[in-house]
Structure 1
Amino acid sequence: MDANVRISDPREHVNEEPRNDLFDLIAGVVGMGGLMTVIFFGMVIFKFLTE
């Protein structure tokens, strides 16, 4: 008795997209640091304008 079973090897990673994880990490850290810097200086300017 043969069953029509299709077995895929989970090591194939057929849906995985090639990405550069280190570049993604660096871009995220730099981007978040830049955003926090802009917010920080914006709040400092806001503080001096409201005194």
Structure 2
Amino acid sequence: MDVNAQVRDPREHINEEPRNDLGDLMNGFFGMTAFMTVVFFGMVIIKFISE
């Protein structure tokens, strides 16, 4: 049985860029928190203006 398979070691990480996973997580968390805070206060201001 002749199998023509291209096998690579997954530990090579040929196309992987060095990334800071914790930094990405913290940026996303605080960015989303800041965005939701702005939306919240914007809605509160709109509520008080419309009354």
Q: TM-score, normalised by structure 2?
A: 0.83
5+ long unaligned stretches in structure 2: none
* Deviant stretches of 4+, over 4 Å: none
> What CA deviation, in whole Å up to 9, does each residue of 1:17-45 have, x standing for no partner?
10000000000010000000000000000
Q: TM-score, normalised by structure 1?
A: 0.83
Question: For residue 44 of structure 1, what is the amino acid of its counterpart?
Answer: V
How many residue pairs get aligned? The number is 49
CA RMSD, Structure 1 to Structure 2 (Å): 1.6
5+ long unaligned stretches in structure 1: none
Identity over aligned residues, as a percent?
Answer: 65
**Counterparts of 1:23 and 1:42, CA distance in 2:** 28
